[in-house]
Amino acid sequence: MKPIVGCILNILTLGWRNRLIADKELFHKLYEELPLNGNQAVLLREHDFNQAFHPEHLKPLNNVIADWPLPINEFHSWLVERRKKKFVSMLQVFLDELGQHTAMEASGLISIGANDQDMREKVISKIGKRLNKLSSKAYRDYESFIKSYKKELNA
């Protein structure tokens, strides 16, 4: 009886260990795309969207939306996966809203049209505040994803 129980425990432990290793590798792969102190994270965390910004900061964020929800990028840890999905969902909301209210300026920067004489200042300010709120929420969800990873996977 003992050998059977021991064999079952080894199988279960090995499966858990393999899932843990796979989750750690996946996290590092995703984290390389969007480091916590990278330009994209700083854009989400600190940028005032009443001001223009460089379009190259959006490419990695769009890659997150395209790649992270794929089944190959799912975590075995349900908590980490749930937090990742929450972040990706909030980032999608932010990028959708950003896409609706921004355009490329002649200078090559993206803005909400703060220099547009036809738009009223209150409208621009309202749009900027909404984008700032959404980007901050997306960043907080990203932080929550990272914290849950560190807590769940002891990384």
pLDDT of residue 69: 96
Whether the CB-CB separation of 131 and 49 falls below 8 Å is answered with yes
Helix (H, G, I), strand (E, B) or coil at 103: strand
Taking the model in full, what pTM does it have? 0.84
Task: Identify the residue with better confidence: 46 or 112.
Answer: 46
Q: How far apart are CA 102 and CA 128, in angstroms?
A: 10
For residue range 10-62, list pLDDT tens digits in order.
455 566 778 889 999 999 999 999 998 899 999 999 999 988 999 999 999 99
Could you give the 3-state DSSP secondary structure of residue 109? coil
Any idea what DSSP says for residue 72? Answer: G
Q: How many residues does the structure list for the chain?
A: 155
